[in-house]
Amino acid sequence: MKLISPTFIKLFACTCLAVSMLGNLSFAAQVAVSKPTLNKNSDITKVVLLVRHAEKNISDNRDPKLSPTGIARSQALAKQLSQLELSQLIASDYQRTQLTLAPIAKDKALNVTIAATKSGLTAHVNNIVALVNKEPGNSLIAGHSNTLPMIISALGGPTIKKISESTFGELYQLDIKPNAEVVLSQSHFGQ
C-alpha cells in the first residue's frame, strides 16, 4: 500500500481551494454584470421586469403582509432599479405583491395597477398582458411563484422552470424588440 505524503495533501488542498475561489470570482463577475439596463439599446422597444413578491409573514392569513426580510428585499429592489425608467407598476390583488412594489412606487411617484386574480389565473395573466401591451413604456410586475412563468410565456418569453416557494429575489427581464422577438435575462436583487 502506497502512502500519500502530507506535502502532497497540502498541495492538493491548496489547488482545490484556488480552483473553488476562481469559480466563485467568475460567478460574482457574472452576477455583477447582469444588472438590468433599460432601453440603452435602440433595438429594444420596451422592457418588462418581473419579480416574485418578497418574503411574506408566516401566518394562516391568505393575504399576509411582508416579513421584515421581505420589507428589506422590497427596498433593495427599489434601490437596484432607482436609475431605470419605468412607466407602470403592476401587482396582483394580494398585498404582498403590492407591498413589494411600494418602495419603488413611492420613489418614482407611480401608482400600482392591480390585476385581479378573482376571475382565475388565465384571466389574471391576460389582464397583465393587456396592461403591458397598452403601455408604450417599461413595466415592472410583481407576481407569484405560480404566475410568473405563465406571464413570461404569455408575453412571448421562453418557458422557465417552476419557481420554488423558497426562492426570492430573482429579477426576470424581457427585452421586447421591434420585430416582436422577446429576449429573457435574469439577475438577482437583495440578500
Q: Any idea where the domains of the chain sit in the sequence?
A: 1-33, 35-188
Per-residue pLDDT band at 78 (split at 50, 70, 90): very high
Assigned CATH for 35-188? 3.40.50.1240
Q: How far is CA 79 from CA 36, 82, 83, 138, in A?
A: 12, 5, 8, 17
Q: Measure the CA–CA gap between 49 and 87, rounded to whole angstroms.
A: 11
Please, which residues have CB within 8 angstroms of residue 147's CB and are 6 or more apart in sequence? 92, 121, 124, 125
- The answer, yes or no, to whether residue 52 has pLDDT greater than 90, is yes
Find, among 118, 172, 109, the residue nearest to 140 by Cα: 172
SS3 187: strand
Residues 92-108, mean pLDDT to the nearest whole number: 97
Q: Please report where in the chains the cell 410583481 appears, as a residue.
A: 142
- The answer, yes or no, to whether residue 37 has pLDDT greater than 70, is no
SS3 130: helix
Q: Please report where in the chains the cell 422577438 appears, as a residue.
A: 181
pLDDT tens digit string along 106-141? 999 999 999 999 999 999 999 999 999 999 999 999
Instruction: State residue 25's pLDDT score.
Output: 32
Q: Please report where in the chains the cell 376571475 appears, as a residue.
A: 119
Q: How far apart are the first and last CA of the chain?
A: 49
Assign residue 59 a region (left: φ > 0; alpha: ψ between -120 and 50; beta: otherwise): beta
Residues 141-170, mean pLDDT to the nearest whole number: 96
